[in-house]
A and B are shown apart, each in its own frame.
Chain A
Amino acid sequence: DIVMTQTPLSSPVTLGQPASISCRSSQSLVHSDGNTYLSWLQQRPGQPPRLLIYKISNRLSGVPDRFSGSGAGTDFTLKISKVEAEDVGVYYCTQASQFPVTFGQGTRLEIK
Chain B
Amino acid sequence: QVQLVQSGAEVKKPGASVKVSCKASGYTFTSYEINWVRQATGQGLEWMGWMSPNSGQTGHIQKFQGRVTMTRDTSISTAYMELSSLTSEDTAVYYCVRGTWELLEHWGQGTLVTVSS
Q: Which residue numbers of A lie inside 8 Å of B, CB to CB? A: 35, 37, 39, 41, 48-51, 54-55, 60, 92, 94, 96-97, 99-106
Contact = CB atoms under 8 A, between A and B. Distances in A.
Given A48-B108, A48-B109, A50-B107, A92 B44 contact: yes
Query: Which applies to chain B's interface (DSSP): helix, strand, loop or mixed?
Result: loop
B105 A103 contact: no
Contact of B45 (A37, A94, A96, A99): A94
B95 interface: yes
A94 to B, nearest CB: 7
Which of A92, A100, A105 has the most chain B CB within a 10 Å cutoff? A100
B102 A37 contact: yes
B61 interface: yes
Given A49-B45, A92-B45, 13 more contacts: A39-B102, A41-B45, A49-B104, A49-B107, A51-B105, A54-B103, A94-B47, A94-B104, A96-B100, A96-B101, A100-B61, A101-B101, A105-B44
Contacts of B101: 37, 96, 99, 101
B102 to A, nearest CB: 4
Given A48-B95, A48-B109, A48-B110, A103 B47 contact: yes
A54 B44 contact: no
Which of B45, B99, B109 has the most chain A CB within a 10 Å cutoff? B45
Contacts of A97: 102
Given A48-B109, A48-B110, A41 B104 contact: yes
B24 to A, nearest CB: 15
Contacts of A96: 100-102
A34 B37 CA distance: 26
